[in-house]
Amino acid sequence: MGIAPVNSIRIFFREFGEGEPVVLIHHLAGTHNSWREVSLRTDKRVITYDLRGHGRSSVPMTEYLIEDHREDLRGLLEFLDVEDPILVGHSIGSLIALDYALKYSVKKLVLIGALVSAPNPEPYERYVDVAMRLGMIALAEYRKNLGDFSEALIKNARAWN
């Protein structure tokens, strides 16, 4: 567990095991803990981290572009001296992993619930508005009321505070 200074922010990470590096990239409103229930082989070096604006990583008051997340990942991997990782991305994490793989070398790429782009930006604009005005717990409750957010993610959002 540690903090990597990356792109003028702090990225929180955890790593365990030894061997081939596997990097797990969480979904929007998730954290490194989103992967805690995943059973992995012990012969791998597993790295999980909190995206900027999530969990224990810095929360810069700027817009967050996929390219920013990609470069944060690059900085983290340089900090940890990792080359050619296996990237596993879930949801928005899949966009970050794919964008990284298009620019940098990876050994393997695993995309779970992969997104190409948001099908309609309007709901996401509302999500950003709710989060900015009322916070992540309010966003989790808002999405729960819409029926598109799990109780586990609400608990996760509460854990941030």
Q: Give the Cα separation of 155 and 142 in Å (integer).
A: 14
Section 141-157 average pLDDT: 60
pTM (two decimals): 0.75
Confidence of residue 161 (pLDDT cuts 50, 70, 90): very low
State the chain's mean pLDDT as an integer: 85
DSSP class of residue 64? -
Spatial distance between the Cα atoms of 73 and 104, rounded to a whole number of angstroms = 11
SS3 of 23, please? strand
Please report, for the chain, the start and end positions of each structural domain, with discontinuous segments joined by +.
2-117, 119-161
CA distance 14 to 2: 6
pLDDT digits (tens, 9 = 90+) for 70-112: 999 999 999 999 999 999 999 899 999 999 999 999 999 999 9
pLDDT at residue 1 is higher than 50: yes
Give the CATH fold of the 2-117 domain. Answer: Rossmann fold (3.40.50)
Q: What is the pLDDT of residues 62-72, one digit of tens each?
A: 888 999 999 99
Q: Distance between CA atoms of 128 and 113, rounded to whole angstroms?
A: 21
107-131 per-position pLDDT tens digit: 999 999 886 665 566 666 777 777 7
